[in-house]
Amino acid sequence: MGWHIPLKYNATLREGEAGISPGPQSVVTEPILDKFKAAVRIVPIMAGAAKQCLGVLMKLKDPTKRDADTQELLYTLHKYFNLKVTDPKYPVIVARLQTVYEQCLKGMMSGYNLYVYSFKATPSAPSGHAYVPGTPKQGSKALGTFFTNNPDMHWPWDQVQKMAYEGSAVGIEKREIHINLDYVQEEETTADILAKTILHEATHKWAGTDDVCYRHNTVSKLLADEDVIKEMVNQGFLERLERTDGKFKVPFAMVSKNNPLQPAKIPAYGLNNFQANSAMWVKNADSYAWAARRFWKNGMNALQKIG
């Protein structure tokens, strides 16, 4: 069965399976264990902050009257989910985003494992930070039916989960969260970044999200200089940029492979040769993880001021 270390907040640290084991329990040094303990404490707080901020955003009565604090919440929603308060689907999507966080919180409260493994990066084999094994056969399609604005196609959560795993070779109980110990040991992986990673994987496990796009591949992270802009245009992005004080700002637009006459606006996220739209971001694990982290860090201060 391998070694295991009970953590608080319903989490247990476990040795990865044969072939990916990081070694004896002693590899989990005191600083590493402290980082895990802090992270599992932060994760439910982070998800809860997202749920609470989305609850406030659902109740906006007059979207034209927004103070700076409310604007911060809306900015997070727009940045990570490509969703504006003026979108006619806004109330429905916000309510269902909240449900995804609720399901992750429910899953964590019922108890969960964090399997640690070791995989050192090489130039030819970059190391993954974490993963959840197995893919529900119809996970992406199922999550899409939950978020659809068409009442005839929308399914409640229980039916969505049943649909996701129907015909799958793996059940939700086998889809455990795995964390790379080498990643945890990095100085840049602070407790809150580790918590964000755990939440990313939690949305895979309990909500069937996809890896549509990672934040480090985003347009907002690539808006550095003229050379980057030129290269992105060469790779298929249309240069539809605004400038503020000489600096580029979003949106970017990218040509659709299927219909070049209908470019997709990408407010923050975008992979090369990928057409982005809000229907994709609600399936994106990194959107949930980074939005929750921002809601937790900035949104809670805004909530206190909003009252």
- pLDDT at position 233 is 56
- pLDDT at position 32 is 97
- pLDDT at position 255 is 39
Looking at the chain, the number of H-run helices and the number of E-run strands are 12, 10
Phi and psi angles of residue 159, each rounded to the nearest 5 degrees, phi first:
-70, -35
Is the model's pLDDT at 204 over the cut of 80? yes
- pLDDT at position 107 is 95
Q: Which residue has the higher pLDDT, 268 or 139?
A: 139
The Cα 77–Cα 54 span in angstroms is 9
Q: Are 282 and 81 in contact (CB under 8 A)?
A: yes
Is the model's pLDDT at 134 over the cut of 90? no
Q: CA 151 → CA 54, 58, 71, 94, distances in Å?
A: 22, 19, 30, 16
pLDDT category, 173, cuts 50, 70, 90? confident
Mean pLDDT of 79-89: 82
Mean pLDDT of 79-107: 89
Is the model's pLDDT at 78 over the cut of 90? no
- pLDDT at position 216 is 60
SS3 211: coil
Give pLDDT tens digits for 262-274.
Answer: 444 443 343 333 3
Alpha helices in 115-166 (DSSP H): 139-147, 157-165
Mean pLDDT of 56-78: 78
Q: Which residue has the higher pLDDT, 154 or 254?
A: 154
Alpha carbons within 13 A on the beta-carbon side of 11: 27
Neighbouring residues of 1: CB distance < 8 A, sequence distance ≥ 6: none
The Cα 99–Cα 78 span in angstroms is 18
- pLDDT at position 61 is 66
- pLDDT at position 228 is 54
- pLDDT at position 20 is 81
Phi and psi angles of residue 91, each rounded to the nearest 5 degrees, phi first:
-60, -40
Q: CA 280 → CA 95, 120, 291, distances in Å?
A: 17, 31, 15
Rounded to the nearest integer, the mean pLDDT of the chain is 78
Q: CA 285 → CA 200, 246, 254, 278, 280, distances in Å?
A: 5, 33, 22, 13, 10
> Taken in order 272, 273, 277, 280, is the CA torsion positive or negative?
negative
HEC letters along 28-94: CCHHHHHHHHHHHHHHHHHHHHHHHHHHHHHCCCCCCCCCHHHHHHHHHHHHHHCCCCCCCCHHHHH
Q: Residue 106: is it exposed, middle or buried by C-beta count within 10 angstroms (0-12/13-18/19+)?
A: exposed
- State the Cα angle at 227 between 281 and 222, rounded to 5°: 25
Give pLDDT tens digits for 99-127.
Answer: 999 999 999 999 999 999 987 766 555 55
- pLDDT at position 225 is 53
- pLDDT at position 259 is 44
Provide the residue ranges of all domains of the chain, joining segments of one domain with +.
Answer: 4-212+277-306, 214-275
4-212+277-306 homologous superfamily: Collagenase (Catalytic Domain) (3.40.390.10)
- pLDDT at position 238 is 45
Pairing state of beta strands 242-244 and 130-131? unpaired
* Per-residue tokens: 113: 């494992």
- pLDDT at position 110 is 95
123: left (phi over 0), alpha (psi -120 to 50) or beta: alpha
Of the candidates 238, 295, 237, 306, the one whose C-alpha atom is nearest the C-alpha of residue 78 is: 295
Q: Which residue has the higher pLDDT, 227 or 113?
A: 113
pTM above threshold 0.95? no
- pLDDT at position 127 is 56
Percentage of residues in the chain having pLDDT higher than 90:
38
Q: Which residue has the higher pLDDT, 222 or 163?
A: 163
Is the model's pLDDT at 45 over the cut of 90? yes
Is the model's pLDDT at 196 over the cut of 90? yes
pLDDT category, 5, cuts 50, 70, 90? very high
- pLDDT at position 262 is 41
Amino acid at 123: P
